[in-house]
Structure 1
């Protein structure tokens, strides 16, 4: 009797061990179980590059043990991510075993069959998208549109090259479902934009598995010298009415004064001092023409703490005094 009891206990233990091996930890998508079709209820469509994307389904599905979904196909793209359990899929005429962590694409028009395991039934994250090339295509505007358009094209073109086999979700596309569900739960400001980003992230992480370094566009990199020159000149334009030094501007853009001076020579064919003087004198000329403010006030407003210093600097550049310059341009513009 004791021997029979021992055998029964060992059998129970083996069964428990099998279940534990199949479920090594908490189900990471448990929060989605409460309302599996929550995201399906959203009317979500958006533009990505030159493509229009409409979300038909985005949900967690739970398959009963042994459930069979007979051969069928879709005219759109349907992504299947195995979140838990086991099963089988037949893609056209090729059978494949499924287990947690795999994903595969069915569509457009790829006939397939699915079957859930009897002992360890599947949970699947499904993303079903209608993707169309829009007739009205974007033209570059200089605000990143061209980069986004190229990346969208590269991603969606790779979908059409994706082999009809299950592969490992190496770049955690499945996490995008949790992010989308969390956005639905919290409904934060920017809901639509955040939801679009979550769907795009799923697509990018999915196709990244098949990335090839050959033929990929390089990441956008800026010319740092020219960028620093732009930062420095913009800072001067914004603050020309205040005391400004080479050291102060260099510290603001995190480079040495000597490096900043070299940048002004290479990128602007000028010096820091000459550029600062040019900005200030240009502002003074504008005020002389467009306002009737006293010259001393104009000088103070453009960084000349000692107005008397303005006169020799101004005459050295324009060959006339500020007073004469104002008279010469008296008819150029209306005083404001």
Structure 2
């Protein structure tokens, strides 16, 4: 009896990949071969046929399409299509069916999500299909998808979603080849982390909350509040720790006097360095220097 051979890469269950303003819903994935008989059909989803081995012949909108290995076709919703059955003609291909479901009751500050959808809409003609050579190695994700479906180890549902998303985005990258410049979004910037970067780069100067605030285009009060909420400590204490830590480099690598080191790392006086060093390191600067000079 002739019938379609079974393959462990088969997932008919809806898999939702949540985004901020929409969900990507993968409706079906399967690894197929020359035993698959497919009827001409259309649906309201996107579909990708990815040729892995041999030549995959399809008919899309009554147009013959041949896909050699490492090529794929993206079929937008509502286009009639189907693979052509060719007995005893070896071929292997992967199919993924998906769509984008917008959130009706959510607003989001994530512009990159909105830009993702708008770029797709502006770049793709919904009444045409797209054939492309895969330059982004999408095929390497297919065995990973199969492995997760077979083993179902801890977290496999999350891994499946990651692999699906990577496959879909990389497939679109083969079609949308022009660079996309998305406007940076200050509302998404981790200001607390940016403050630490500013401190790393400017610890040796006489910086204050106002200097950081001016660099971040916010108020000093906002800097202080954000930093405390995120790290559970104050800006001033952290700046002193940076200065003390970098002072250790000078103590180990140079014979500079403490007065010069204090100036190089931004302390107002050597006494401040002496005092903080004793408090935090539980030893004097001289003892610390002697220990490291011996080693």
Q: TM-score, normalised by structure 2?
A: 0.60
Deviation at 1:206, TM superposition (A): 0.3
Gaps of 5+ in 2: 204-230, 252-259, 284-295
Within a 5 Å distance, the mapping from 1:102-141 to structure 2 comes to 102-140=71-109
Question: In the alignment, what sits opposite 2:154?
Answer: 189
Answer whether contact 2:132 2:175 (CA < 8 A) is retained: no
Q: What is the CA–CA distance in structure 1 between the aligned matches of 2:108 and 2:244, rounded to whole Å?
A: 41
Residue among 150, 168, 178 paired with 1:203: 168
Matches within 5 A, 1:1-336: 34-37=7-10, 39-40=11-12, 42-64=13-35, 69-140=38-109, 145-147=110-112, 149-150=113-114, 152-153=116-117, 156-157=120-121, 160-161=124-125, 164-217=129-182, 228-231=197-200, 237-238=237-238, 244-248=244-248, 272-274=266-268, 303=280
1:246 Cα deviation from its structure 2 partner = 3.7
Deviation at 1:205, TM superposition (A): 0.9
Q: Distance in 1 between matches of 2:56 and 2:277?
A: 79
Unaligned 5+ segments in structure 1 are 1-31, 252-257, 263-270, 282-298, 307-336
Does the 8 Å contact 2:17/2:161 carry over to 1? yes
Native 8 Å contact 2:8 2:150 kept in 1: no
Deviation digits for residues 248-269 of structure 1 (CA, Å, limit 9, x no counterpart): 4899xxxxxx9xx89xxxxxxx
Cα RMSD, aligned residues only: 4.7
Q: Is the 8 A contact 1:79 1:127 kept in 2?
A: yes
In the comparison of the two structures, how many residue pairs are matched? 234
State whether residues 8 and 149 of structure 2, in contact with CA within 8 Å, keep that contact through their aligned partners in structure 1: no
Structure 1 residue matching 2:104: 3-state secondary structure:
coil
Q: Is 1:246–1:272's contact at 8 Å kept on the other side of the alignment?
A: no
Q: CA deviation at 1:109?
A: 0.2
Cα deviation per residue 1:60-81 (whole Å; 9 max; x = unaligned)?
A: 12232xx663432111111111
Q: Highest CA radius of gyration, 1 or 2?
A: 1
Q: CA contact under 8 A between 1:242 and 1:302: conserved in structure 2?
A: no
